[in-house]
A and B are shown apart, each in its own frame.
Chain A
């Protein structure tokens, strides 16, 4: 079960350290990654969060089609995780 949380932590740190993921977004994601016991039964949402962080693009909304994920996507998934 912890594999997906470990993956979330790795991808978040990578996106924060080397790409455009801002600290204000990375911090709550890392809170999820480092507290797997609080999110048992919600692994499907965590998987989605991993994909959204991995494909995070600050310019996702620009252009004709939205194929990357932006901060709104990640914020929404974080909200669903808390519901």
Chain B
């Protein structure tokens, strides 16, 4: 079996997370919205415990965590949920960046259809957007700025601290899609200027199908979000529906471990990185995205003389990698991220993304090098 190097698509599940999920599937199966007996009360207690575990990662408050089905839904709620507020106040200008995930770009397309003006900022060759371009784009009628924390294809950390300074004392909502950075890079998301943070369980060794939108409150009030679905009033009215207690409890456990084990996970990923970098450097590969801003568990490279599809197939018995994001790889469209960074179409088609984690076993890098050299030859 090939070694799994596609952790940006989804991570393996931590054993203790799986144990918690199974516990709430098999034994403690109560409905958190039915706390009239111990089954329901325990489910509710578990949900609130998980809420605290998720909040703790970004130093938010427990009541600022809204559980969702994942970051895609969180992004939709954060963006489309502000539509009424924008239309009601005559603020129809929105800003995002060209390297966002489709789960942000497509809600923005929907906002444009509703009458909003969407401004999409370019990125530089290093894989980061330019904060000055953002500052220049702001207008009195800007309602929302949405910027990702870490790019899913390149692993490049975006300049959020600079954005926080730019948006300080401005009456503009700021959403951060943190699907790839939550629980991995801890400091950025703790900045109190960030109003809305999206995250997914399955990117942090938790279960699929669960995530959260963290919405920071001011004067005990959420940002003026409207729910996208109705019926039941759960999650403070913003995300109705019976809570998936096993998934939420699993997400909480994953968040706890992300916080507790952050240092050792980074150290493991960094050690792994050095071997991967050495292998691909020897092959003459060019890294996509500036190394100094790239998180230690991701490497996106273009391999001269080797089409990525052929490389991935050639390596399939040794390592399992991808060429682009999981959500677009099935469409066989060129990476919009690498294209936006200014890569030629040839280099885009030669790009592969490797992403690993603290649970990744050793890879036989010499075999990887041998296979790729033979393919190029």
> Which A residues form the contact surface with B (CB < 8 A)?
44, 47-48, 51, 55, 65, 67, 73, 76-77, 80
Contact = CB atoms under 8 A, between A and B. Distances in A.
B316 interface: no
A55 B52 contact: yes
Given A44-B23, A67-B63, A77-B45, 5 more contacts: A47-B256, A48-B45, A65-B63, A76-B45, A80-B42
A47 B52 CA distance: 11
Contacts of B45: 48, 73, 76-77
A47 B49 contact: yes
A17 to B, nearest CB: 23
Given A44-B20, A44-B23, A80-B42, A67 B62 contact: yes
B166 interface: no
Contact of B49 (A48, A67, A76, A80): A48
Interface string B266-278: 0000000000000
Contact of A76 (B23, B41, B46, B256): B41
A60 B321 CA distance: 50
Nearest to B52: A51
A42 to B, nearest CB: 12
Dominant SS at the B interface? helix
A67 B45 CA distance: 12
Contacts of A80: 38, 42
Q: How large is the interface on B (under 10, 10 to 19, 20 to 34, 35 or more residues)?
A: 10 to 19
Given A44-B20, A48-B49, A51-B52, A67 B61 contact: yes
Contacts of B41: 76
Contacts, number: 21
A72 to B, nearest CB: 10
B57 to A, nearest CB: 14
Contacts of A44: 20, 23
Interface string B37-71: 01001100110010010000000011100000000
Nearest to B62: A67
B45 to A, nearest CB: 6
Closest CB pairs A-B (n = 3): A67-B63, A48-B49, A51-B52
Interface in B4-44: 20, 23, 38, 41-42
B132 to A, nearest CB: 40
Given A44-B23, A80-B42, A51 B63 contact: no
Residue from the set B46, B49, B256 with the largest chain A CB neighbour count within 10 Å: B49
Residue from the set A47, A65, A73, A77 with the largest chain B CB neighbour count within 10 Å: A47
A6 to B, nearest CB: 14
Nearest to A76: B41
15 contacts: A47-B256, A48-B45, A48-B49, A51-B49, A51-B52, A55-B52, A55-B62, A67-B61, A67-B62, A73-B45, A76-B41, A76-B45, A77-B45, A80-B38, A80-B42
A76 B45 CA distance: 10
A48 B51 CA distance: 11
Nearest to A64: B220
A15 B93 CA distance: 48
Nearest to B38: A80
Contacts of B52: 51, 55
A73 B62 CA distance: 16
Residue from the set B23, B61, B62 with the largest chain A CB neighbour count within 10 Å: B62
A83 B290 CA distance: 55
A24 B142 CA distance: 55
Contacts of B49: 47-48, 51
A67 to B, nearest CB: 5
